[in-house]
Structure 1
Amino acid sequence: MEHVEAEKLSKHTVTKIWNVREFCQLHQLGDKEEIRLRRLFGRFATASELQHNAKRTPKWRY
């Protein structure tokens, strides 16, 4: 096991972690899609996971 000093760690975050509810509100996804994403990932997921798995209906098709 390797010991790492806290001062040597980078302070930059590599990936953005989103609250699934906030992501759905920001991207105007419906309640059903929010429920589906929460079942898939839980309360939090990376931005990449959410963007690649969110189903959006086309705005020109109602």
Structure 2
Amino acid sequence: MERIEPEIADSNMATKVWSVTEFCSRHRLDDEEETRLLRLFGPFATACELMYNAKRAPKFR
């Protein structure tokens, strides 16, 4: 975890653009979910969009 001072933070941090494929591999999403996100956004999307739209299977199963 990293603390960011409010005066240093800018709006670009919230709108960082990710490759959907890279995001899925980093967050261990399956191929079906990667395909769904690619259809929804195309090859690139903001981190915020990906986090809000990614569906993950529960870890307890």
* TM-score normalised per structure 2: 0.77
Counterpart for residue 31 of structure 1: 31
User: Could you tell me which amino acid in structure 1 is paired with residue 29 of structure 2?
Assistant: L
Counterpart for residue 19 of structure 1: 19
CA positional deviation for 1:13:
6.7
Once superposed, what is the RMSD of the aligned Cα atoms? Answer: 1.3
Stretches of structure 1 that go unaligned for 5 or more consecutive residues are: 1-11
CA positional deviation for 1:58:
0.8
* TM-score normalised per structure 1: 0.76
User: Could you tell me which amino acid in structure 2 is paired with residue 37 of structure 1?
Assistant: L
CA positional deviation for 1:20:
0.1
CA distance in 2, matches of 1:42, 1:17: 12
Whether 2:43 is the aligned partner of 1:43: answer yes
- SS in structure 1 at match of 2:28: coil
Q: Which has the higher helix share?
A: 1
CA distance in 1, matches of 2:40, 2:34: 10
Counterpart for residue 8 of structure 1: none
CA positional deviation for 1:38:
0.2
Query: Percent identity, aligned pairs only?
Result: 62
